[in-house]
Amino acid sequence: MAEINAMINALLADRSYFTTQQLHSMIEFVNELDEETLYQFKNSDDRTIMFAYEQLVFPDRRNRTDDHEMQLLNRPANTAIQNNRAFFERYNTSVPYGRGYGGNVYEDATKIKYDYAGKILSAVGGLATMGGGIAAAVAATTTSTVRAVLTATGGAASLAGGALVVLRNSLADSQMASNKRFIETVKKIVKARNKVNKFFEDTNNKVVKDPAKAATQLQAGLSSHPSRFTRGPNNTTVYQNLSAVEKLLQEDFVSQHYNIKSKLIIRNGDPWFIRLETLRSEPRELSQMDLEVLQNVASRL
């Protein structure tokens, strides 16, 4: 089997963290990302990625500069997120069950404050007598930032407020681990997309460099490929449609392209296929068989 086909099939077969439908939703999500966000998912750390991600999932949550505001207004909504908000909203920078308290899970300074506040609260028995415990804990510290943490969570006047102080960092670690599984899977999808793009770019360069050789190898590859002809009713020969491969190599790729974009498409449980878009031609849809044939031909150019 051709390398790209094997890579995509392995990606789709991975059920270690996500269901089939969730994985398909993530692929649709990646298909709609702009180049800047794709670059961030590929190269940035988790904190930076989650900041960019939250701009897509929660566009009204953060303060922005005028330039950033205009950029978001000009960016179309990600329909994959809109169609499955319950899934995509699981991944964020907020502390689970924090009811707005707890700060950013990636902020080390906040983690230190809550660790200190939790130790003070536990020392004065805050969980046993929450109202008095919070008050005693506030009185016990002279650190203004820790005092603010205790006062804010104690303002809820409930056991939940004090429990958040003690458990905040464990909850934050759990959210970060969940985010990491999501990020790692999205990175795999982005990597696969980039590899497919690179294949088409390299094939385009080879065809432009020697179109005569490309034409010769195309005909040889098509005529010898076992999928080209199959046996039909009454022992007839059935012609397999590989026109997408022929048009790509004989028409589209004879000129240089600098804006090749490919997307992995999964639709209504059908076998996956690749949609190839360039500014110089109509989008091409290549089946798994098309891709296998194309890779075999390209390997000989």
Angle at 104 between CA 85 and CA 131, to 5 degrees: 105
Q: How far apart are CA 294 and CA 301, in angstroms?
A: 11
Contact by Cβ (8 Å): 228, 242: yes
In this prediction, residue 118 carries a pLDDT of: 74
In this prediction, residue 197 carries a pLDDT of: 94
In this prediction, residue 44 carries a pLDDT of: 93
Provide the residue count of the chain: 301
Percent helix, strand and coil across the chain, each to the nearest 5: 65, 10, 30
In this prediction, residue 117 carries a pLDDT of: 74
Per-residue pLDDT of the chain (301 residues; tens, 9 = 90+): 479 999 999 999 998 999 999 999 999 999 999 888 999 999 999 999 999 999 999 877 654 544 444 444 455 678 999 999 999 999 999 988 766 777 899 999 888 878 877 777 666 654 544 444 555 555 555 555 555 665 655 544 444 556 677 778 888 999 999 999 999 999 999 999 999 999 999 999 999 999 999 888 888 877 776 655 555 566 655 556 667 888 888 888 999 988 889 999 998 777 899 999 887 778 899 999 889 889 988 998 8
Contact by Cβ (8 Å): 33, 41: yes
In this prediction, residue 156 carries a pLDDT of: 47
pLDDT digits (tens, 9 = 90+) for 26-39: 999 999 998 889 99
Q: 3-state DSSP call for residue 256? A: coil
Q: How far apart are CA 39 and CA 98, in angstroms?
A: 31
Tokens 């040889």, located at residue:
220
Between helices 144-154 and 159-209, what is the axis angle to 10°?
Answer: 110
In this prediction, residue 167 carries a pLDDT of: 77
Amino acid at 213: K
Angle at 245 between CA 242 and CA 250, to 5 degrees: 120
Q: How far apart are CA 290 and CA 244, in angstroms?
A: 7
Q: Give the number of other CB atoms < 10 A from CB of residue 250.
A: 16
In this prediction, residue 179 carries a pLDDT of: 97
- Quickly list DSSP for 158-184: SHHHHHHHHHHHHHHHHHHHHHHHHHH
